[in-house]
Amino acid sequence: MAIRMFDCIQNKKLGHELSLEEIEYIIQGYLDGTIPDYQVSSLLMAICFSGMTNEETKGLTYTMAFSGDSVDLSEFGELTCDKHSTGGVGDKTSLIVGPVVSALGGKLAKMSGRGLGHTGGTIDKLESIPNYKTTLPRDEFIKQTRKIGISLISQSGNICPADKKLYALRDVTATVDSIPLIVSSIMSKKIAAGSKNIVLDVKVGSGAFMKTYDDALELAREMVKIGKICERNVSAVISDMNTPLGKNIGNSLEVIEAVDVLKGNIDNDLGKVSVVLAAELVRMFKKISMDDAIKEVLKVILNGKAFEKMQEWVAAQGGDINVLLDTSKFDEAKYRKDLIAEDDGYIASMNSEIIGNTSVMLGAGRAKLGDKIDYSAGIVLHKKTGDKVKTGDILCSFYTNNDEMLEPASDKYMTSLKFSNTKPSKEKLIQAIVR
Ligand code: URA
């Protein structure tokens, strides 16, 4: 019997399983325009309520993964590594994990995204390095990976076109927050990108997609399960995003902080999360224990090999490494404003989403697709959750080239903070690792 979209929607509404043929029919029809947005929206909403079985999620992941180009990394065998973060504020771990993993012999041919909304994106951060090329022809992308072990470019136009189209529809039909839809969206891109070893950084908290630990754990488990079914080594690190990661938020500010970690300053939240993420990949491709992987990661950070690798990589992509060797050479924003504490106490909590949006107001991100970014704009956090604050202390510093935004951004930032008179307990930085 011929498949009809109406029946697919009706069956999903009633909680029945879609067959692989039906999933392929839906994706193909949506891509070629024979199935309209309104029917796909209706199906997406039915999925939000009825969920999907493992079989359906796997079918959707594979169908989307092969809806466009995929990257062939088979020449690198088991050494290929990829990383994905579900999105956060101040999250510059890819700039650290990439060079660490390739300094240890891994092959990281990675495609990353841009920031949207309150979260940042690796490609925008890299573009703050003068002349860094975020696009490379496919053969150069592979050649550079072969030669130096790492290339990092923006996602090519035709990787997972089905996800691109579906994601845009989900965004405007309130159907983003469905675990099987998120799993298939993220994992289809990772499958198409071709790496054998994948570490997922699942953020949880006020600045993350997943606001609760239980939701983050479910997402992590589902992604790991689908990755394994698709014959990839996958692990998911659930890490705190109630507080922004590290001290700097904003593009060149985040590159500066990543360089600082690669120069050995690892005893901080950013250093700790980056070491665990990198070690997960090293553990997978070297087939060693996590303890040994952590030792190897620490070794290449502390002996400078990872920072050398970062320079080699940035230079290979045309970037000016002088700004890495001396980060004061980055263009500085024209205006700086310090926010001052008016009382004694402790920072009880921060709302990372509000802080991310404040940094967008200063020019560090886009309010909408296509907006221009001010690479030097952002926020340096001097006090974070759990810190003691005395009247007159600097809470944070704003950097921007648009002084008109300083006042509204200050008001917004202050709404993100809660103070207390007693020392608050902090969220655990790494809450779980799902393998
Ligand atoms: N990131 C993605 O790539 N897809 C989703 O569905 C959610 C977050």
145 C-alpha vs ligand 1 centroid, how far in Å? 26
Q: Do 276 and 355 fall within a single domain?
A: no
Arithmetic mean of pLDDT, 83-107:
97
186 C-alpha vs ligand 1 centroid, how far in Å? 5
Residue 224 has a pLDDT of 97
Q: Do 30 and 99 fall within a single domain?
A: no
The binding-site residues of ligand 1, defined as CB within 6 angstroms of any ligand atom, are: 86, 167, 176, 181-182, 185-186
Q: Is the pLDDT of residue 343 over 80?
A: yes
Nearest atom within ligand 1 for CA of residue 113:
3
Give how many domains the chain has, as a whole number. Answer: 3
Given the residues 163, 240, 260, 269, the one annotated as active site: 163
- State yes or no: is 185 an active-site residue: yes
Q: Which two tokens stand for residue 28?
A: 């193909």
Q: Is the pLDDT of residue 368 over 90?
A: no
- State yes or no: is 295 an active-site residue: no
51 C-alpha vs ligand 1 centroid, how far in Å? 16
Q: Is the pLDDT of residue 369 over 80?
A: no
With residue 273 as reference, give the H or E element that holds it.
helix 269-286
Q: Which two tokens stand for residue 331?
A: 């263009």
431 C-alpha vs ligand 1 centroid, how far in Å? 21
Residue that finishes a domain, picked among 36, 51, 66: 51
Residue 117 has a pLDDT of 79
Given the residues 189, 203, 232, 383, the one annotated as active site: 189
Residue 65 has a pLDDT of 95
390 domain residue, yes or no: yes
Q: Is the pLDDT of residue 66 over 80?
A: yes
| Residue 233 CB neighbour total at 10 angstroms | 21
426 pLDDT tier (thresholds 50, 70, 90): confident
| Residue 414 CB neighbour total at 10 angstroms | 13
Query: Which structural domain, as residue segments, surrounds residue 116?
Result: 74-325
Residue that finishes a domain, picked among 296, 325, 354: 325
- State yes or no: is 170 an active-site residue: yes
Q: Do 26 and 79 fall within a single domain?
A: no
Nearest atom within ligand 1 for CA of residue 170:
6
250 domain residue, yes or no: yes
Residue 209 has a pLDDT of 84
Atom 6 of ligand 1, residue of closest alpha carbon: 182
Bridge partners for 82 per DSSP: 198
Q: Please report, for the domain that includes residue 392, its CATH number.
A: 3.90.1170.30
Given the residues 128, 185, 188, 195, the one annotated as active site: 185
Given the residues 58, 92, 170, 412, the one annotated as active site: 170
84 domain residue, yes or no: yes
Q: Is the pLDDT of residue 183 over 90?
A: yes
Residue 367 has a pLDDT of 74
DSSP secondary structure of 176-197: ---HHHHHHHHHHHHHHTT-SE
182 C-alpha vs ligand 1 centroid, how far in Å? 5
Nearest atom within ligand 1 for CA of residue 184:
6
Q: What is d(CA 190, CA 81) in angstroms, rounded to the nearest whole number?
A: 10
Q: Is the pLDDT of residue 205 over 80?
A: yes
Q: Is the pLDDT of residue 120 over 90?
A: no
Residue 41: exposed, middle, or buried by beta-carbon count in 10 A (0-12, 13-18, 19+)?
middle
Q: Do 87 and 144 fall within a single domain?
A: yes
Identify which of 64, 86, 111 to mutate to test ligand 1's pocket (most ligand atoms within 8 A of the CB): 86
Q: What is the mean pLDDT of the chain?
A: 96
66 domain residue, yes or no: no
Given the residues 12, 58, 84, 190, the one annotated as active site: 84
68 domain residue, yes or no: no
Atom 5 of ligand 1, residue of closest alpha carbon: 182
Q: Is the pLDDT of residue 49 over 80?
A: yes
Q: What is d(CA 229, CA 201) in angstroms, rounded to the nearest whole number?
A: 19
185 C-alpha vs ligand 1 centroid, how far in Å? 5
Identify which of 57, 111, 167 to mutate to test ligand 1's pocket (most ligand atoms within 8 A of the CB): 167
Nearest-5° Cα angle at 138, 136 to 144: 70
Arithmetic mean of pLDDT, 49-57:
96
- State yes or no: is 16 an active-site residue: no
Q: What are phi and psi of 396, to 5 degrees?
A: -160, 165
Residue 118 has a pLDDT of 86
Q: Do 263 and 349 fall within a single domain?
A: no
62 domain residue, yes or no: no
Q: Do 342 and 293 fall within a single domain?
A: no
Say what percent of the chain tops pLDDT 90. Answer: 91
86 C-alpha vs ligand 1 centroid, how far in Å? 7
Q: Do 172 and 43 fall within a single domain?
A: no
Q: Do 261 and 383 fall within a single domain?
A: no
Q: Which two tokens stand for residue 432?
A: 């779980």
Query: pLDDT per residue over 122-160, tens digit each?
Result: 999 999 999 999 999 999 999 999 999 999 999 877 899
Residue 393: exposed, middle, or buried by beta-carbon count in 10 A (0-12, 13-18, 19+)?
middle
